[in-house]
Amino acid sequence: MTKNILISGASVAGPALAYWLHRYGFTPTVVERAPGLRGGGFAVDFRGDVHLRVLREMGILDEVRRRQTNMGNQVVVDADGGQLAKLPASFMSGDVEIERDELSRLLHERTRDHTEYLFGDSIASMTEDADGVRVCFEHGEPRTFDLVLGADGLHSNVRALAFGPESRFIRFLGYYVAGFEMPNFLGLDHTGLMYNVPGLGVNVGSAGGKTDGGFVFPSEELDYDRRDLDAQKQLVARRCAGAGWEVPRLLEAMWAAPEMYFDSISQVRMPSFQRGRVALVGDAGYGATLGGLGTGTAMVGAYVLAGELAVAHGDHRVAFPRYEERMRGYAEGCQKLAEGAGPFLAPPTRFKIWQRNQMYKALSWRRLAGVFDKMTTKAARNITLPDYRPAPRSAVPRESA
């Protein structure tokens, strides 16, 4: 019987998987390359009853609500700070919004007593045979696991080791995004501000005592060291040079920030989410970067993958294909939503900025906002979640709406 499962990545998908696997009687171990839980990044949101059901069944919905940002409206401003358009809260923040690192902390709190976390390490190699996967770590002693699950994000290590180089699976959508924590020098209170010049989107939001700043810009694919924060900040600073409004102060704040999320807007397109004793979950398997409900999809993916393993009594040959079958269409639907995120957040011309703002204005009409909410929520709800139960061998999952 499958028992020992190694998960790579301790952000959202990894700890969520650890939660469910433990609940179904497996023994999860999580390896995370960073020395501890990573901070930084924007707030993430959950939309619609499927997301909320997963949070509820994990017993964390109330806690997520308690820690939610309660972000209000977002205002589009001109170079003098004058209001151009206003966006209703649900547009950016869904049904419930929480800082990504806060969610990660919460999931870690709920799993750390029964999950071995190996921080500051990474899988160096994996060799699979009929009995398991022999894993060599960069630092720790080699160990054998029954299964290895990659929850290590857009640039997944497990995916590279099991499936091949990421250039084969990542579709670059032509934009980059940077996000960092900053002082609230604009005095915002549960509101966000957005500013644009052609080819640059600037965003500041403050809620729950935390203020995030961010930039989105179109670019050729950039060659940079993902571990070199200074080099990434330089790239961002160059792209923002000469932009007005509060951008110079935002750049100062960026330079002072100890951490920054910086990545391309890209999508992961895998011909298969699983190979042998290895499967991918969350961004590693079907990431969408911005606007693709990535966090909710990762939580749903963890629920389905662990549930399928439970009802198949750990037989990955049964569970993995079922997981893939249930998740593929759902994940692809959410990815589709994200395709327009870059041009929407950083329109390339003045005319396109104006057009986008007109659309924002229209969204503040209640009825249209409702139509838009329904569109995004439709993708987030587009899966029938089985009611998994740790059950006797003959059991099959019960379908529920």
Cα gap 73→205, rounded to integer Å: 10
d(CA 75, CA 89) in angstroms, rounded, equals 10
Q: Does 94 bind ligand FAD (CB under 6 A)?
A: no
Taking residues 109 to 148 in sequence order and writing x for each that binds ligand FAD by CB under 6 A, - otherwise, the string is -------------x--------------------------
Q: Does 45 bind ligand FAD (CB under 6 A)?
A: no
- Sign of the Cα torsion 285, 12, 376, 263 reads negative
Please say whether the beta carbons of 244 and 80 come within 8 A: no
Q: Is 267 in the site for ligand FAD (CB under 6 A)?
A: no
- Give least dist CB 15 to ligand FAD, A: 8
Does position 12 bind ligand FAD by CB under 6 A?
A: yes
Region near ligand FAD per CB under 6 A, out of 30-38, 225-233, 242-250, 357-365:
30-38
User: Closest Cα to residue 198, out of 363, 360, 361, 345?
Assistant: 345
For ligand FAD, which residue of 24, 27, 38, 269 counts as binding (CB under 6 A)? 38
3-state helix, strand and coil shares in percent for the chain, rounded to the nearest 5: 40, 25, 35
Q: Which contiguous run of DSSP H or E holds residue 135?
A: strand 132-137
Token readout for 227 is 């571990």
- Phi, psi at residue 126, to the nearest 5°? -135, 135
Q: How far is the CB of 401 from ligand FAD (least distance, A)?
A: 25
Query: Is 181 near ligand FAD (CB under 6 A)?
Result: no
- 254 makes contact with ligand FAD (CB under 6 A): no
Give the binding range for ligand FAD (CB under 6 A) out of 12-20, 186-194, 239-247, 326-334: 12-20
Q: Does 289 bind ligand FAD (CB under 6 A)?
A: yes
Distance CA 41, CA 99 (A): 8
The verdict on 42 binding ligand FAD (CB under 6 A) reads: yes
Based on the shown chain and the rule CB under 6 A, indicate whether residue 11 belongs to the binding site for ligand FAD: yes
Report how far residue 394's alpha carbon sits from residue 294's, in angstroms, rounded to the nearest whole number: 34
Q: 300: which 2 tokens?
A: 């749903």
The residue among 53 and 155 lying less far from ligand FAD, judged by its C-beta, is 155
Residue 99 lies near ligand FAD (rule: CB under 6 A): no
What length is written for the chain? 401
Which two structure tokens, joined as six digits, stand for 14? 């990894």
Q: Which residue in the set 45, 146, 283, 373 belongs to the binding site for ligand FAD (CB under 6 A)?
A: 283
Residues that bind ligand FAD (CB under 6 A): 8-14, 31-34, 38, 40-42, 44, 100, 122, 151-154, 157, 179, 261, 282-284, 287, 289-290, 294-295, 298
